[in-house]
Amino acid sequence: MEFMAPTITCAEILKEAVSDPSNGNHIASAMELYIMGLQKQLCEALAAIDGSQFKTDKWERPNNGGGGVTCVLQDGNVFEKAGVGVSVVHGTLSKNAIQQMKSRGKELFGDSVEFRALGISSVIHPKSPHVPTMHFNYRFFEIPEGDSKLWWFGGGSDLTPTYLHEGDATHFHTTLKAACDTHSAEYYPKFKKWCDEYFYIKHREESRGVGGIFFDDLDYIPINDAFSFVKSCGNAVIPSYIPLIKQHMDEKYTEEELEWKLLRRGRYVEFNLVLDRGTKFGLHTENARIESILMSLPLNARWEYMNEPGEREKVLLEVLKNPREWC
């Protein structure tokens, strides 16, 4: 099979739209095929490493509002929880969403605004405290018709280690920078900074991890160029991350290291439930598929009162408090 499940949009309609650049659904259709393909590639790469298979669920939104394909490998040999989800949804923006978008500078007219949103989202939590957690998300948002006609891309990719391996952070960032640089020398520095700012857990005064790239509202270059940039970022996911898994997955670890991992996973939960815009948006959406939204949470997490980190743990915390340049 070409993908993990059949596409959300009918395959015939997709084929027609991608073959015709003048078709109003050309980019959305190409994006749907691209993210379905990336989902398949990544799931296959992870399943091959783990030696076990992803569970694939195809789901639909009520009232013909689109749907998605959620793939999760849980409690595997290498991965505690690896989720790769695609969603292709459409509907009418809530008043709240209209207001929020206006406050971000979007020119929207009227009370009823039709939208469609396509995206791929993934969080990989490995078992070993030596293999970092990785998250990425790339999405296309479109108001396809009427006075409010608009589109933009957003997304990013970031790394969350339990223990700092400087080489990992450098490899991850260097790979992302290379993907950015083929499009504009301005992207990596700008989106790296944005990532550090976005993934900051204010109440802990520390970053979630060692960052990566993050961007939103990418609508200021031609749509084909923006899509091409997003594909470069998506194509960088596997080369930026898979080598780090392979390098560390067989390293031995101790009970103390596992406990530190659980505490860091607790911080991941705090970020996702308290701060992450996508998660909060999902939790407040009627008829959302909650299992897909919360697949990003780790299998296990821990909160200790007044934990005293050791020397090696403090090395990570130092970097989380003072983000570094990695390339």
Residue 107's CB: how many other CB atoms inside 10 A? 11
Nearest approach in angstroms of CB 291 to a copy of itself is: 6
Any idea what the Cα angle at residue 32 is, between residues 225 and 15, rounded to 5°? 95
Q: How far is CA 120 from the centre of its chain?
A: 7
* Burial class of residue 185 (count of CB atoms within 10 Å of its CB; 0-12, 13-18, 19+): exposed
* Stretch near a copy of itself under the rule CB under 8 A, chosen from 19-27, 33-41, 92-100, 202-210: 202-210
Q: If binding is defined by CB under 8 A, does position 58 make contact with a copy of itself? A: no
* Cβ contact 19:49 at 8 Å: no
Residues 6+ apart with CB under 8 A from 35: 86, 118, 119, 120, 138, 234
Residues in the interface with a copy of itself (CB under 8 A) total: 33
Task: Please report whether residue 262 would count as binding a copy of itself according to CB under 8 A.
Answer: yes
Q: Which of 47, 269, 317, 327 binds a copy of itself (CB under 8 A)?
A: 269
CB-based contact 74:10 (threshold 8 Å): no
Does position 309 interact with a copy of itself (CB under 8 A)? The reply is: no
Determine which one of 26, 90, 135, 248 is catalytic.
135
Residue 115, both tokens: 């939208």
Closer CB to a copy of itself, residue 170 or residue 285?
285
Q: Measuring CA to CA, which residue among 93, 91, 89, 114 is closest to residue 32?
A: 89
Of residues 211 through 250, those in contact with a copy of itself by CB under 8 A are none
Closest distance to a copy of itself from the beta carbon of 197 (Å): 17
If one asks whether residue 41 binds a copy of itself (CB under 8 A), the answer comes out as no
Residue 124 binds a copy of itself, judged by CB under 8 A:
no
**294 binds a copy of itself per the rule CB under 8 A:** yes
Q: Which is nearer to a copy of itself, 251 or 291 (CB)?
A: 291
Q: For residue 177, which of 190, 164, 165, 166 has the smallest C-alpha distance? A: 190
Known active-site residue 90: no
Q: Which residues bind a copy of itself (CB under 8 A)?
A: 55, 57, 72, 74, 81, 83, 202-204, 262, 266, 269-270, 273-274, 280, 283-284, 288, 290-291, 294-295, 297-306
Please give the positions annotated as active site: 135
